[in-house]
């Protein structure tokens, strides 16, 4: 029941997003879709879907899976693994992993099919935060109310914790995704994720961000590029990966991709 209602929420959004052929549509379409959704929910006789309950349950499962994924048991060097855990647990909102699982469920997959991928997304997200905070980037001293990773462990270990989390993300998807997911889906999903977070996605956005900090005359177009790549691209990789692992058709995957670009934009 929860899954079906959540599907309605996302489906309505996705339908609205994919109506036009242009890549980015007016934001008002999102409000139109919210109205449609409200009417749809009113006409339903089924018990109301609680987004809060859904999110609480999923975030609990995600946090448990993350804790197990970066266990310290028998791991050396201790300092590296402690830095990875420090950056990953606890404190994150887990928005991206939640979207990854929801996207997988939306196309008929299960939570377990997407859980390693969801954890991987969080690892990538938190690795990016370590890097954003570095002295040569934002030179931040605090993150989520505690010292940034390079302040707590030193710059060299922080950079290596970034590497550890990023590579663990790919290892985790490849080795921990259950056998109920055909390997072809996993390969496609890994390729898509890497493309979205790489030099034509998130990394491109970060470089434009660095460039914009050097320049005195930053255009709106430049800022749009930064946000679309830094935020929308990771969300795109997240939900497209979830949908691919869940067995979504090409059409479903593309609709979900449009949805992610909207949400990524609005989120920023």
Nearer to a copy of itself, 42 or 221 (CB): 221
Out of 68, 207, 219, 266, the only residue in the binding site for a copy of itself (CB under 8 A) is 207
Q: Residue 56 CB, nearest distance to a copy of itself (Å)?
A: 30
Other Cβ atoms less than 10 A from the Cβ of 98: the count is 21
Out of 10, 17, 62, 84, the only residue in the binding site for a copy of itself (CB under 8 A) is 84
Closest CA to 240 of 202, 194, 193, 204: 193
Out of 7, 11, 195, 268, the only residue in the binding site for a copy of itself (CB under 8 A) is 195
* Cα(162)–Cα(84) distance, integer angstroms: 8
Q: Residue 161 CB, nearest distance to a copy of itself (Å)?
A: 8
**Exposure pattern of 193-224 as b/e (b: 16+ CB <10 Å)?**
bbebbeeebbbbbbebbeeeeeeeeeeeeeee
Asked if residue 81 binds a copy of itself (CB under 8 A), the reply is yes
Nearer to a copy of itself, 14 or 70 (CB): 70
Asked if residue 142 binds a copy of itself (CB under 8 A), the reply is no
**140 neighbors 98 (Cβ within 8 angstroms):** no
> Which one of the spans 24-32, 34-42, 150-158, 238-246 is the region binding a copy of itself (CB under 8 A)?
150-158
User: Residues binding a copy of itself: what is the number (CB under 8 A)?
Assistant: 48
* Cα(127)–Cα(149) distance, integer angstroms: 10
Nearer to a copy of itself, 3 or 188 (CB): 188
For the packed helices 202-214 and 233-245, what is the interaxial angle rounded to 10 degrees? 180
Asked if residue 187 binds a copy of itself (CB under 8 A), the reply is yes
Nearer to a copy of itself, 102 or 190 (CB): 190
Count CA within 13 A, CB hemisphere, residue 214.
8
* Cα(176)–Cα(245) distance, integer angstroms: 13
Asked if residue 75 binds a copy of itself (CB under 8 A), the reply is yes
Sketch the per residue contact string, 30 through 69, with a copy of itself: x for CB under 8 A, - otherwise.
----------------------------------------
At 21, give phi and psi (nearest 5°).
Answer: -85, -15
Asked if residue 91 binds a copy of itself (CB under 8 A), the reply is no
* Cα(236)–Cα(165) distance, integer angstroms: 20
* Cα(48)–Cα(33) distance, integer angstroms: 18
Q: Applying CB under 8 A, which residues contact a copy of itself?
A: 75-77, 79-81, 84, 131, 134, 136-137, 154-157, 159-160, 163-168, 170-171, 174-175, 182-184, 186-188, 190-191, 194-195, 197-200, 203-204, 206-208, 210-211
């Amino acid at each position: 029941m929860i899954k079906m209602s959540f599907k309605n929420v996302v489906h309505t959004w996705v339908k609205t997003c994919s109506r036009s052929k242009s890549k980015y549509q007016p934001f008002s379409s999102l409000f139109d879709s919210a109205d449609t959704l409200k009417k749809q929910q009113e006409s339903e006789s089924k018990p109301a879907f609680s987004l809060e309950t859904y999110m609480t349950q999923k975030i609990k499962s995600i946090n448990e899976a993350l804790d197990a994924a970066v266990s310290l048991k028998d791991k050396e060097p201790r300092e590296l693994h402690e830095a990875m855990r420090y950056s990953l647990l606890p404190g994150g909102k887990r928005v991206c992993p939640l979207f990854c699982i929801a996207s997988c469920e939306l196309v008929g997959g299960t939570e377990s099919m997407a859980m390693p991928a969801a954890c991987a997304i969080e690892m990538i997200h938190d690795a990016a935060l370590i890097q954003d905070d570095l002295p040569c980037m934002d030179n931040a001293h605090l993150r989520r109310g505690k010292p940034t990773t390079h302040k707590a462990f030193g710059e060299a270990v922080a950079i290596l914790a970034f590497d550890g989390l990023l590579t663990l993300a790919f290892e985790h998807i490849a080795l921990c995704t259950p056998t109920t997911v055909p390997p072809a889906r996993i390969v496609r999903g890994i390729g898509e994720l890497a493309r979205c977070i790489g030099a034509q996605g998130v990394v491109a956005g970060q470089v434009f961000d660095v460039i914009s900090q050097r320049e005195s005359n930053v255009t709106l177009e430049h800022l749009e590029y930064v946000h679309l790549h830094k935020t929308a691209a990771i969300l795109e990789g997240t939900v497209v990966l979830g949908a691919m692992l869940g067995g979504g058709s090409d059409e479903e995957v593309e609709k979900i991709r449009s949805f992610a670009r909207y949400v990524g934009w609005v989120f920023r």
